Amino acid sequence: MSASFDLARLRTETLDLLAGWTAIESVAGHPAGLRRMANLLVAHLTTRLGATIVAEGLALDPPVVHARIDRGTGRRILLYNMYDVMPAPPEGWSVAPFAGGIVDRPGLGPCFVGRGAENNKGPLAGMLVALEALIAADALDADIEILIEGEEESGSRALRHYLDRPDTPVRPALAALFPSFCEYGGGRPRVYCGFKGIVHGMLRSSGGAWGGPSAAIHGSNAPWIANPAWRLVEALATLAEPPTGFLFRTPLAPAWRPMLDALAATFDPDAELAFRKTERFAIPGSPAERLEHVLTSAVLSLSRLATDPFDARGVIPCAAEARFELRLPPGAAPETVLSELRARLADAGRADVEMREDDGFPGIAFAPDAPGVAALVSTYRAHGADPQVWPWAIGAAPAYAFAAVAPAFLIGGLGHGGNAHGIDEFVTLEGIDRFLSSLLTWLPAIADESRTRADERSAP
């Protein structure tokens, strides 16, 4: 940081925003909460940062807050974040999840606990506070495009369609940046040059011509009446391999091999297992083999199994269903994989088992030297963190939709949070300081890179 910033004051501002936003239940199916969050963000962006709001985004459901801060440079970076959070029943929390508060957590010290503290209202608050500080100090030599959506937790449908439009109002940028707390589990931060894709859906077996009752019947009929739950189990075994739901692997391009080798050399399997709250991996192999497997594997992940009627006893159910997430590496097209899975069901005589996709998007991998990657790595190192650089994240994000407006989509930022989607979601106060410090370095570095690249393009 070349300019001087009062981190204590910026942390207080971040916590004030986070506390106010935590009280808003901006969850899927709660349009009033989502709209209120969007309105608060519009007010903050216009009054505190002098941003111009693009009205087309606010007309979407839920609203996409699309803002512009033009500083006359002609060079642009895009900041992305989200204001929706997951639901949070109050049972088990140290504080009410939609009230939030400071809690001293053993081994971590003072933390802000509340739904969205880590994912992603905490980072969103810090992003806007850091951005305001940089602009006030005239320390950010770039124009800013901002996209904040309210549907990330349920597929980003509105934002993806907004970006997919041939006439999208989103202007091209050097890179799209997703500020987040990336010291996962308190460990080394990670840099991802892409993301996997995902398809949400349901597999359902119902009684019908193949057998099985059209309404739940007494379980004594099991010897001579087929059970839709067993039919579903047979179908799942036809589609994917237990215990993970493995489908296939895609080849790892040679360009990514050096990055994978460097990652494997410092990868700590025990730390990864502890972070994942698991005792052992499902596959054997060296760190390099396991990393290549997790990066290149497509899986049919099951998140719920249920019968109709639910939780009945002593009956043969009339239907059974499995909620799935089809997780796909870059290069695997969702529509192609879904077609192949339906063909497997038909070939096995299980065409009666319905496979319904709700929504999804493909994965994408940007180039290893994509804009912003080197600046993020150098930012981490400047703050004493030695990052892990991954070819792409094993999690999904709608990064592909940004390809039309930016050659890279990077999630980045220091800071330690945890329990996203779970009980007592938190961010450490020290993590907020580290996050703010990293953004105050990273954003100007990206702006400098945009100027350098623009100068190179204009050179004779």
- pLDDT, tens only, 169-197: 999 999 999 999 999 888 899 999 999 99
Q: Which residues of the chain have pLDDT under 50?
A: 1
Tell me the CATH number at 14. Answer: 3.40.630.10
**What is the spatial distance between Cα 94 and Cα 423, in angstroms, rounded to a whole number?**
9
- Would residue 451 count as lying in a domain? yes
Q: Both 24 and 171 in a single domain?
A: yes
**What is the spatial distance between Cα 38 and Cα 55, in angstroms, rounded to a whole number?**
12
The boundaries of the domain holding residue 63 are: 7-193+366-458
Q: Both 247 and 184 in a single domain?
A: no
Is the pTM above the cut of 0.85? yes
Q: Both 344 and 380 in a single domain?
A: no
Last residue of a domain, one of 361, 386, 416: 361
What pLDDT is recorded for position 175?
95
Q: Both 214 and 301 in a single domain?
A: yes
Q: Both 232 and 376 in a single domain?
A: no
The amino acid sitting at 189 is P
Q: Total structural domains in the chain?
A: 2
Q: Both 277 and 418 in a single domain?
A: no
Last residue of a domain, one of 339, 361, 383: 361
Q: Both 217 and 304 in a single domain?
A: yes
**What is the spatial distance between Cα 260 and Cα 372, in angstroms, rounded to a whole number?**
19
**What is the spatial distance between Cα 256 and Cα 170, in angstroms, rounded to a whole number?**
30
Cβ-based neighbours of 4, under 8 Å, separated by 6 or more: none
Last residue of a domain, one of 361, 390, 410: 361
**What is the spatial distance between Cα 450 and Cα 64, in angstroms, rounded to a whole number?**
26
Q: What is the pLDDT of residues 360-415, one digit of tens each?
A: 999 999 998 999 999 999 999 999 999 999 999 999 988 999 999 999 999 999 99
